[in-house]
């Protein structure tokens, strides 16, 4: 699922205290932040970058009610219609006794569904490979990638990042999507490797 | 946000030693990149031996039948179900630490949550073995699943607590695994990006699913963690509630009580925390993680142990009182003669349980003992023995003398294959745990980094050595010994 090759100016910050004003100023200057890669969730960074709230929890709720409905309809169909069992003369529709399984399936559907949705949205799976702008983005650096358009003067962006407190700045041409690959092999785009 | 929150300067930092982000990565990931120590190999070898013994015991049981165990017509549940409930209970601490403490915003969970969640998963795997192999004809184990079959179809009984258990345990395992692994992804990416060897690049590259640390991904990750925590919290309560229903919905004297669900849940957390203590005290020492799993963490867990231990104690006494107050002669007989009477065949196990679970944890009211690592380690073993005996007492002393004295059982003691099966699950548990400690970050690296600069800042800035010593003295003199 290659997203195309684009040019980025990459600035690395080593402190949240410089990162936040930098994000603000870069946005104010009208540059397009492709993404900021951080080693841990930096609270408030998503708001600073103007990213909208995730709706993942809504998806979780929908999966949950799907689980509830599945359990209740399945059990009632079995015990009332398909094969009614006479258990001590008690009602066939024994709702209280079904609550545990209904609850478990609610949780199961919600958790499994949410994790799969999360992996889908973030494009995470085994053997998925992506371009990483800096290896220390998962260690101790906050890595900001600014997308360059035809009009962007990258020397200007670099100077801007320098002013904003970035400790390391470079320009990279990178694939924005993901491809199938392994991290122990040379980084080669699917497109280049296969020729399409 | 930070302006609204003031942290006392007495509050110790969660991570000692004034670390920066890179040092955190180094400290936690270095053990993965080094050759395992000799101690690791010895431990791993022992667990493989135990595992083999367990596999052979199970082989005997499958080949020759349940008769390999010393169960009889009166005592149909013995060591196997005792071990099942014990292992499941141990698993609960992991979920409590990772889910409930996340909802309560307890920062100290970050030091122990990853290992505790791993413990949960391995403990549930071990627990699952017992009901599965106890089926006898294990090749028909899939009969517990509701699927359209050629026998009618005759469905499973959805009104039965034993079936609820099937759903509860399998859901619990799945959700814990998802919670654990989704939390691991960023840390595995950290290992991947540091990897030097081909194998590590490949293995951690595949295992980290291509995690990049994008802000949007972190935002979703946080949302996922919060909702999974919100789901796991009632789930963990439901799992042990349903396990207790296996007993409580029957009419066996000693089992037929409404106090079981809360009492089982408290007991599960109690034993689970004891197991976390046993494991973490060893792990922090062997991997040199004393700065991350501090005495403060151990103290916090000991507080949970004394709380849940006391809840369990209250439950024991309530149960005893109600057995007398309820005026059901069978119920009262089960408690008075089968359990509380020290000279009855199993009286010793009841009093051993009382001592281990109710009396001994009371030591932890003392701050000095709570912060003493040797005492904590010793206590954690005692509590685990006590909690094993709790399940043994509940199961065996309730069934060995039933309504009809002529069918009262003679003394039940396990066969070597029953013991072997139990030891085998220890082998399985430690086999998994040793591999985990070697190949995965035992502490949640990203989560530690997130709290690194927000915990104990005032302590670091304001507390001088003299003040620290004073505060310690104040605790010992004024708080411990009164005024």
Instruction: Please indicate whether residue B267 or residue A3 has the higher confidence score (pLDDT).
Output: B267
Is the model's pLDDT at A148 over the cut of 90?
no
Dihedral angle sign, alpha carbons of residues B206, B208, B213, B217:
positive
What's the pLDDT at B433? 93
The CATH architecture that domain B15-452 belongs to is Up-down Bundle (1.20)
Confirm if A137 and A38 have CB atoms less than 8 A apart.
yes
User: Of A57, A101, A178, which has the smallest distance from its Cβ to B158's Cβ?
Assistant: A101
User: Of A40, A43, A56, which has the smallest distance from its Cβ to B224's Cβ?
Assistant: A56
Mean pLDDT of chain A, nearest integer: 87
User: What would the pLDDT profile of B185-205 be if each residue is shown by its tens digit?
Assistant: 999 999 999 988 889 999 999
What's the pLDDT at B310? 94
Q: What is the mean pLDDT of residues B5-13?
A: 68
Please answer yes or no on whether B182 and A82 come within 8 Å at the CB atom: no
User: What would the pLDDT profile of B271-301 be if each residue is shown by its tens digit?
Assistant: 999 999 999 999 888 888 888 888 889 999 9
User: What would the pLDDT profile of B353-362 be if each residue is shown by its tens digit?
Assistant: 999 999 999 9
Distance from CA of B176 to the nearest CA of A (A): 10
Q: What is the mean pLDDT of residues B326-332?
A: 90
User: Of B212, B221, B446, which has the smallest distance from its Cβ to A37's Cβ?
Assistant: B212
Is the model's pLDDT at B232 over the cut of 70?
yes
Best A26, A68, A101 residue to mutate vs chain B (most B CBs within 10 Å): A101
What's the pLDDT at B72? 84
User: What would the pLDDT profile of B392-418 be if each residue is shown by its tens digit?
Assistant: 999 999 888 888 888 887 788 899 999
**CB neighbour class for B174 (10 Å; exposed up to 12, middle 13-18, buried from 19):** middle
Which helix (DSSP H) or strand (DSSP E) does residue A107 occupy? Answer: helix A95-121
Please answer yes or no on whether A98 and B158 come within 8 Å at the CB atom: yes
Q: What is the mean pLDDT of residues A161-169?
A: 88
User: What would the pLDDT profile of A53-76 be if each residue is shown by its tens digit?
Assistant: 999 999 999 999 999 999 999 999
Distance from CA of A125 to the nearest CA of B (A): 4
Confirm if A26 and A160 have CB atoms less than 8 A apart.
yes
Q: Strand A5-13 vs strand A178-180: parallel, antiparallel, or unpaired?
A: unpaired
Distance from CA of A119 to the nearest CA of B (A): 9
Is the model's pLDDT at B8 over the cut of 90?
no
Break chain B into its structural domains and give their ranges: 15-452
Is the model's pLDDT at A42 over the cut of 50?
yes
User: Of B158, B224, B235, which has the smallest distance from its Cβ to A118's Cβ?
Assistant: B224
Best A17, A26, A85, A138 residue to mutate vs chain B (most B CBs within 10 Å): A138
The token pair at B346 is 């199993």
Distance from CA of B289 to the nearest CA of A (A): 18
User: What would the pLDDT profile of A172-187 be if each residue is shown by its tens digit?
Assistant: 888 888 888 888 877 6
Distance from CA of B76 to the nearest CA of A (A): 23
Distance from CA of B196 to the nearest CA of A (A): 9
Contacts of B245 in chain A (CB under 8 A): 100
Confidence at B457, pLDDT banded by 50, 70, 90? low
Please answer yes or no on whether A39 and B207 come within 8 Å at the CB atom: no
What's the pLDDT at B379? 93
Is the model's pLDDT at A2 over the cut of 60?
no
Please answer yes or no on whether A51 and B216 come within 8 Å at the CB atom: yes
What's the pLDDT at A89? 87
- The contacts of residue B81 (CB under 8 Å, 6+ apart) are B130, B131, B134, B391, B395
**Global confidence as pTM:** 0.91
Please answer yes or no on whether B182 and A118 come within 8 Å at the CB atom: yes
Please answer yes or no on whether B21 and A139 come within 8 Å at the CB atom: yes
A188: three-class secondary structure by DSSP:
coil
Q: What does the H/E/C string look like for chain B?
A: CHHHCCCCCCCCCCCCCCCCHHHHHHHHHHHHHCCCCHHHHHHHHHHHHHHHHHHHHHHHHHHHCHHHCCCCCCCCCCHHHHHHHHHHHHHHHHHHHHHHHHHCCCCCHHHHHHHHHHHHHHHHHHHHHHHHHHCCCHHHHHHHCCCCCCCCCCCCCCCCHHHHHHHHHHHHHHHHHHHHHHHHHHHHHHHHHHCCCHHHHHHHHHHCCCCCCEHHHHHHHHHHHHHHHHHHHHHHHHHHHHHHHHHHCCCCCCCCCCCHHHHHHHHHHHHHHHHHHHHHHHHHHHCCCCCCCCHHHHHHHHHHHHHHHHHHHHHHHHHHHHHHHCCCHHHHHHHHHHHHCCCCCCHHHHHHHHHHHHHHHHHHHCHHHHCCHHHHHHHHHHHHHHHHHHHHHHHHHHHCCCCCHHHCCCCCCCCHHHHHHHHHHHHHHHHHHHHHHHHCCCCCHHHHHHHHCCCCHHHHHHCCHHHHHHHHHHHHHHHHCCC
Is the model's pLDDT at A195 over the cut of 60?
no
Contacts of A121 in chain B (CB under 8 A): 220
Share of chain B above pLDDT 90, in %: 56
Please answer yes or no on whether B213 and A121 come within 8 Å at the CB atom: no
Distance from CA of A144 to the nearest CA of B (A): 10
What's the pLDDT at A38? 92
Best A62, A98, A182, A183 residue to mutate vs chain B (most B CBs within 10 Å): A183
- Complex ipTM value: 0.92
Distance from CA of B130 to the nearest CA of A (A): 21
Mean pLDDT of chain B, nearest integer: 88
Q: Nearest chain B residue to A75 by CA: give it.
A: B158
Distance from CA of B201 to the nearest CA of A (A): 5
Please answer yes or no on whether B218 and A46 come within 8 Å at the CB atom: yes
Instruction: Give me the CATH topology for the region A5-48+127-194.
Output: Alpha-Beta Plaits (3.30.70)
Is the model's pLDDT at B6 over the cut of 80?
no
User: What would the pLDDT profile of B235-275 be if each residue is shown by its tens digit?
Assistant: 999 999 999 999 999 888 889 889 999 999 999 999 999 99
Break chain A into its structural domains and give their ranges: 5-48+127-194, 56-121
Of the candidates B253, B398, B255, B259, the one whose C-alpha atom is nearest the C-alpha of residue B329 is: B253
Please answer yes or no on whether A140 and B168 come within 8 Å at the CB atom: no
The token pair at A155 is 């020397």
Instruction: Please indicate whether residue A178 or residue B52 has the higher confidence score (pLDDT).
Output: B52
User: Of B167, B207, B217, which has the smallest distance from its Cβ to A104's Cβ?
Assistant: B167
Please answer yes or no on whether A107 and B228 come within 8 Å at the CB atom: no
What's the pLDDT at A192? 60
Please answer yes or no on whether A184 and B221 come within 8 Å at the CB atom: no
> Distance (Å, rounded) from C-alpha B83 to C-alpha B426?
11
> Distance (Å, rounded) from C-alpha A94 to C-alpha B159?
8
A6: three-class secondary structure by DSSP:
strand
- The CB density around residue B66, as the number of other CB atoms within 10 Å, is 15
Please answer yes or no on whether A46 and B447 come within 8 Å at the CB atom: no
User: What would the pLDDT profile of B109-166 be if each residue is shown by its tens digit?
Assistant: 888 889 999 999 999 999 999 999 998 889 999 989 998 888 878 889 899 999 999 9
Please answer yes or no on whether B21 and A39 come within 8 Å at the CB atom: yes
What's the pLDDT at A149? 83
Please answer yes or no on whether B174 and A111 come within 8 Å at the CB atom: yes
Q: What is the mean pLDDT of residues A151-174?
A: 86
User: Of A54, A79, A119, which has the smallest distance from its Cβ to B219's Cβ?
Assistant: A54
Contacts of B209 in chain A (CB under 8 A): 119, 124-126, 128
Best A184, A185, A187, A190 residue to mutate vs chain B (most B CBs within 10 Å): A184
Q: What is the mean pLDDT of residues A127-135?
A: 88
Confirm if B363 and B372 have CB atoms less than 8 A apart.
no
What's the pLDDT at A1? 47
User: What would the pLDDT profile of B85-107 be if each residue is shown by its tens digit?
Assistant: 999 999 988 888 888 888 888 87
Is the model's pLDDT at B4 over the cut of 60?
no
Q: Nearest chain A residue to B233 by CA: give it.
A: A107
Q: Nearest chain B residue to A135 by CA: give it.
A: B193
- In angstroms, how far is CA B298 from the centroid of its own chain? 15
What's the pLDDT at B1? 42
Distance from CA of A97 to the nearest CA of B (A): 5
User: What would the pLDDT profile of B352-385 be if each residue is shown by its tens digit?
Assistant: 999 999 999 999 999 999 999 999 999 999 999 9
């Amino acid at each position: 699922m290659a997203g195309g090759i684009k040019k980025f100016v990459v600035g690395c910050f080593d402190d949240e205290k410089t990162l936040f004003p930098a994000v603000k100023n870069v946005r104010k200057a009208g540059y397009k932040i492709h993404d900021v890669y951080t080693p841990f969730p930096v609270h408030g960074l998503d708001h600073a970058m103007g990213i909208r709230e995730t709706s993942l929890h809504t998806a979780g709720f929908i999966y949950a009610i799907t689980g509830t409905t599945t359990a209740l309809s399945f059990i009632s169909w079995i015990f009332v219609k398909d094969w009614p069992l006479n258990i001590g003369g008690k009602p066939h529709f024994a709702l209280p006794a079904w609550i545990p399984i209904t609850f478990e399936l609610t949780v199961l559907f919600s958790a499994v569904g949410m994790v799969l949705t999360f992996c889908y949205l973030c494009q995470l799976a085994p053997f998925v490979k992506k371009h990483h702008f800096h290896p220390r983005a998962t260690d101790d650096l906050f890595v900001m990638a600014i997308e360059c358009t035809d009009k962007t003067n990258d020397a200007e962006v670099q100077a801007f990042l320098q002013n904003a407190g970035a400790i390391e700045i470079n320009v990279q041409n990178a694939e924005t999507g993901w491809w199938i690959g392994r991290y122990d092999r040379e980084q080669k785009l699917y497109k280049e490797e296969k020729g399409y | 946000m930070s302006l609204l929150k003031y942290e006392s300067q007495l509050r110790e930092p969660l991570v000692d030693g004034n670390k920066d982000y890179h040092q955190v990565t180094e400290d936690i990931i270095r053990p993965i990149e080094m050759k395992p120590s000799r101690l690791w190999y010895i431990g791993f070898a022992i667990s493989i031996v135990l595992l083999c013994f367990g596999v052979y015991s199970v082989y005997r049981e499958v080949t020759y039948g349940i008769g390999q165990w010393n169960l009889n017509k009166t005592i149909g549940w013995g060591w196997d179900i005792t071990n099942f409930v014990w292992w499941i209970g141990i698993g609960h601490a992991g979920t409590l630490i990772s889910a409930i403490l996340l909802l309560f915003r307890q920062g100290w969970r970050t030091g122990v949550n990853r290992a505790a969640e791993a413990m949960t998963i391995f403990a549930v795997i071990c627990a699952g073995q017992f009901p599965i192999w106890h089926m006898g004809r294990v090749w028909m184990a899939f009969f517990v699943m509701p699927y359209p079959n050629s026998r009618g179809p005759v469905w499973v009984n959805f009104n039965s607590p034993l079936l609820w258990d099937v759903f509860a345990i399998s859901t619990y395992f799945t959700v814990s695994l998802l919670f654990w692994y989704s939390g691991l992804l960023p840390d595995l990416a950290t290992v991947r990006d540091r990897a030097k060897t081909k194998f590590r690049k490949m293995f951690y590259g595949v295992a980290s699913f291509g995690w990049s640390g994008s802000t949007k991904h972190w935002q979703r990750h946080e949302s996922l963690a919060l909702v999974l925590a919100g789901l796991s919290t009632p789930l963990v309560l439901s799992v042990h509630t349903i396990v207790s229903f296996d007993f409580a919905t029957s009419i066996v004297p000693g089992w037929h009580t409404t106090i079981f669900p809360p009492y089982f849940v408290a007991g599960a957390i109690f034993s689970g925390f004891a197991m976390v203590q046993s494991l973490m005290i060893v792990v922090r020492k062997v991997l040199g993680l004393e700065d991350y799993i501090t005495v403060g963490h151990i103290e916090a867990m000991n507080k949970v142990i004394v709380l849940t231990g006391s809840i369990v104690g209250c439950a024991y006494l309530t149960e005893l009182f109600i057995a007398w107050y309820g005026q059901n002669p069978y119920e009262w007989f089960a408690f008075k003669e089968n359990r509380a009477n020290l000279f009855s065949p199993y009286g010793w196990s009841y009093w051993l349980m009382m001592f281990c679970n109710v009396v001994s944890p009371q030591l932890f009211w003392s701050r000095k003992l709570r912060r003493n690592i040797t005492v904590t380690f010793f206590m954690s073993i005692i509590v685990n023995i006590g909690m094993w005996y709790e399940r043994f007492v509940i199961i065996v002393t309730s069934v060995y003398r039933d309504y009809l004295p002529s069918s009262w059982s003679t003394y039940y003691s396990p066969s070597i294959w029953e013991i072997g099966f139990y030891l085998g699950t220890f082998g399985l548990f430690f086999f998994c745990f040793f591999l985990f400690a070697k190949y995965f970050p035992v502490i949640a690296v990203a989560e530690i980094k997130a709290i690194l600069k927000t915990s104990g800042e005032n302590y670091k800035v304001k507390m001088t050595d003299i003040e620290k010593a004073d505060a310690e003295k104040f605790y010992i003199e004024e708080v411990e010994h009164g005024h």
